[in-house]
């Protein structure tokens, strides 16, 4: 049955709605005419076929009207979802810029901390004595570097 819906989707919407409405009108008029044909002498023999054909056309028209309405509802949902996706993409791009800025600032802060620690190490290396004992100040500097924070001045 999906093949039929697919073929119908190839017809432009304005033409399709005209066809569906004409089917509904023909079905209703034919069904009502079938009841009044019995009063016309030469045509009354076609009363049953006219009623059956009109009811079939009416049922088909109602079926296609329902299918068309469902299709339009799904298209509207898709349109709304696409709008939401566009809004989300715009918001994501804006957020990515903010995140990028924060990352750059964090990297700069880390590099600044490394420079301070390296300067502190160079300045404190003279405290290592001839027995290669490391003073507490150098250990504190090393620990601060491992924790990635700026060293405290403990002199």
pLDDT exceeds 90 at position 45: no
The residues, ordered by sequence, that sit 6+ positions from 116 with a Cβ below 8 Å of its Cβ are 150, 151
Higher pLDDT pick, 135 / 52: 52
pLDDT confidence band for 129 (50 / 70 / 90) = low
Which is nearest to 148 in space by CA: 104, 101, 97, 106? 106
The pLDDT > 90 percentage for the chain reads 31
pLDDT of residue 82: 96
Higher pLDDT pick, 65 / 140: 65
pLDDT of residue 155: 47
pLDDT of residue 91: 92
């Amino acid at each position: 049955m999906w093949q039929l819906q697919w073929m119908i989707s190839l017809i432009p919407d304005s033409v399709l709605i005209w066809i569906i409405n004409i089917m509904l009108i023909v079905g209703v008029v034919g069904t009502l005419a079938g009841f009044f044909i019995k009063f016309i002498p030469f045509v009354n023999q076609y009363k049953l076929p006219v009623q059956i054909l009109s009811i079939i056309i009416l049922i088909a028209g109602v079926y296609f009207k329902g299918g068309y309405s469902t299709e339009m509802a799904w298209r509207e949902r898709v349109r709304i979802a696409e709008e939401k996706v566009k809004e989300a993409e715009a918001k994501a791009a804006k957020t990515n810029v903010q995140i990028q800025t924060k990352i750059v600032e964090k990297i700069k802060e880390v590099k600044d901390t490394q420079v301070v620690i390296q300067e502190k190490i160079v300045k404190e290396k003279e405290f290592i004595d001839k027995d290669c004992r490391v003073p507490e100040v150098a250990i504190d500097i090393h620990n601060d570097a491992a924790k990635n924070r700026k060293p405290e001045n403990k002199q």
